[in-house]
Amino acid sequence: MPPRPLTAKPSPALAGECRVPGDKSISHRALMLAGLAVGESTIQGMLLGEDVLATASAMEHLGATIERGADAWHVWGRGVGGLREPAEVLDLGNSGTGARLLMGVLAGQPITAFLTGDASLRRRPMNRVVAPLLQMGARVTARSGERLPLAITGTAEPLPIHYELPVASAQVKSAVLLAGLSAPGETQVVEPQDTRDHTELMLRAFGAEIAVERSDTGRLTRLTGQPELTGRRVNVPADPSSAAFPVVAALLIPGSRLRVPAVGMNPHRTGLFTTLREMGADIVFENEREEAGERVADITVSAGRLRGVEIPAARAPSMIDEYPILAMAAACAEGRTVMHGVGELRVKESDRLAAVAEGLAACGVDVETGEDWLAVHGQAGRPRGGATVAAQLDHRIAMSFLVLGLASEKGVTVDDAAPIETSFPGFADTMRAAGADIAEA
C-alpha cells in the first residue's frame, strides 16, 4: 500500500461530541473467548480496527463462526480446547495483543498453527510469551530472538504452572491464563505491578472460576482449568486509549470544549487522565456506571494551561500506550515533564521513546531520553512544528503528532497515517467533525 501522508494545521477550537471506537483490548478478548465458548456470543460496540479484524480472521481460520451484523457481531465458538487446525498462516498484522494472546489460546489446542505479522510485529519480542508456554508443554519454532513468523504446537492438556511475570505485561499474563483454560488444575500468575485485567473480568463473565488476591510478590491470579465457557453478550466500551487523542487535542487548542461519551474507565487504564489532572487539566467524568463488568463514564474536557510533572514508574502500566500523546501535552505545558520507568515503550509498534524524541526535536521541542525515561521541556504554549514526522508503522505515533500539529504554530505532517486504521478507524474524520484542520498532505 502506498503511504498516506496527512497534515494537521493550527486548528480553531474543538467543540461538540466526539465518539471514539470500541476498546481494542476488550474486542480482541471478546473474539477469543467467544471462540472458546459453547454457543452464541453477541458482541456490541466492537472495534472495527485492522488489529481486531486480524484476530477475527484468525478465529475463523481456527473454526469459530463469525457473523458481522449492523448492530452487533455474533460468534459461535467451539469450546475450550476445540479449535480446528488452520490451513492458512495466521496473519496478525500490526497487533502484539492479537499475536501474543492467540499464542496462549493455541498452546491449549492439540494442533499446529503458523503465525506471522507485518514488518513492525515481526520485529517485536515473543520470548516473553514463548517462555511460559514452553513450560506449559507447547512447542514453538521461531526465528532468532523468538520473533515471528513462528510455528506453535499446543497440547490438549497443558501443565498448570505458577508463573511470576518478569515484565509488567497484560499480554503475557493473558497468554498464560488462556493456555491455562485447557490445563487440568490451577494456573497461577503473579504480577509485580498490576496491569489491565480485562482478561480476568471477561473470563469470569464467560463462566470460568478465577480468583485474584494479593501475595508478597504482587497480584496473584488463580484460574481453575477446563471450565465450560458459555456464549454471552459483551458490550465493548469506547477505548480510553483512543479517547486520549481528542481529549489532549481539546486541552491544547485554546477555547475548546469537547465531550467524549461512554469511555471505558477500568482503573488499570486511566493513568493518563490522572496525570493530565495533575498537570492542571480540566477533565470531568460524568454518569459513571458499570456496563457488562467494565466501568464507563462520559468525559468533558476544556482547554487550559498545563504544567510539567514527574510521572512515577508505578503508573506506567495504567497508561502504557498513552505516553506518546502525553509527551505532546508535555511539549505545550509550562516546565519539564519526566516520565520514569517507560522502557517497555522501546518494544511497541516502534521504539516509541526514540520516535517521540526524534519527532519532538524536529518540531522544535527540547527532549532528553535514557534507556527507560523521557523528559520533555514544555514550551508553555504552541511548539513551532513545521516538520514531517515518521510514523514508523505506529498508529499512536501518527495520531500523537497530528494532535501536536493542531496545537502548533506551523502544523505537522505525518508521513504515513495508514497505521491509524489498526486502532482508530476514521480518526481524521472524527477530529474534523469536532473542528480540527487535518487534511491529506
Ligand X SMILES: C=C(OP(=O)(O)O)C(=O)O
Ligand Y SMILES: O=C(O)C1=C[C@@H](OP(=O)(O)O)[C@@H](O)[C@H](O)C1
Segment interacting with ligand X, rule: CB under 6 A, options 29-37, 91-99, 103-111, 155-163: 91-99
- Which of 200, 321, 351, 421 binds ligand X (CB under 6 A)? It is 321
Q: What burial letters (b/e) apply to 165-187, b meaning 16+ CB within 10 Å?
A: beebbbbbbbbbbbbbbbbeeeb
- Smallest gap from residue 100 Cβ to ligand X (A): 8
Long-range contacts of 365-371 (CB under 8 A, 24+ apart): 365/331, 367/327, 371/343, 371/346
Q: Are 55 and 323 spatial neighbours (Cβ–Cβ below 8 Å)?
A: no
- Is position 259 an interface residue for ligand Y (rule: CB under 6 A)? no
Number of residues that bind ligand Y (CB under 6 A): 10
Asked about 282 being catalytic, the answer comes back as no
Active site residue: 23, 321, 394, 416, which one? 321
Q: Which three cell numbers stand for residue 103?
A: 499464542
Return the number of the residue (91 or 321) whose C-beta is nearest ligand X: 321
Residues 6+ apart with CB under 8 A from 402: 6, 8, 412, 414, 417, 427, 428, 431, 438
- One character per residue 405-434, x = contact with ligand X (rule: CB under 6 A): ------------------x-----------
Which residues 338-397 are close enough to bind ligand Y by CB under 6 A?
Answer: 344
Return the number of the residue (169 or 350) whose C-beta is nearest ligand Y: 169
Would you mind telling me the total number of residues written for the chain in this entry? 441
Q: Is 29 annotated as a binding residue?
A: yes
- Smallest gap from residue 156 Cβ to ligand Y (A): 26
Q: Which partner in ligand X, ligand Y, none is near 158 (CB below 5 to 8 A by kind)?
A: none
Q: Are 339 and 326 spatial neighbours (Cβ–Cβ below 8 Å)?
A: yes
C-beta atoms surrounding 119 within 10 Å: 9
3-class secondary-structure state, position 151 = strand
Which residues 83-102 are close enough to bind ligand Y by CB under 6 A?
Answer: 97
State the Cα–Cα distance between residues 281 and 87, nearest whole angstrom: 52
Strands 40-44 and 233-235: parallel
Per the annotation, binding residues for 3-phosphoshikimate are 24-25, 29, 169, 171, 321, 348
**What residue ranges bind ligand Y (CB under 6 A)?**
25, 97, 169-171, 174, 196, 320-321, 344
Per the annotation, binding residues for phosphoenolpyruvate are 24, 96, 124, 171, 352, 396
The set of catalytic residues is: 321
**What residue ranges bind ligand X (CB under 6 A)?**
95-97, 321, 348-349, 396, 423
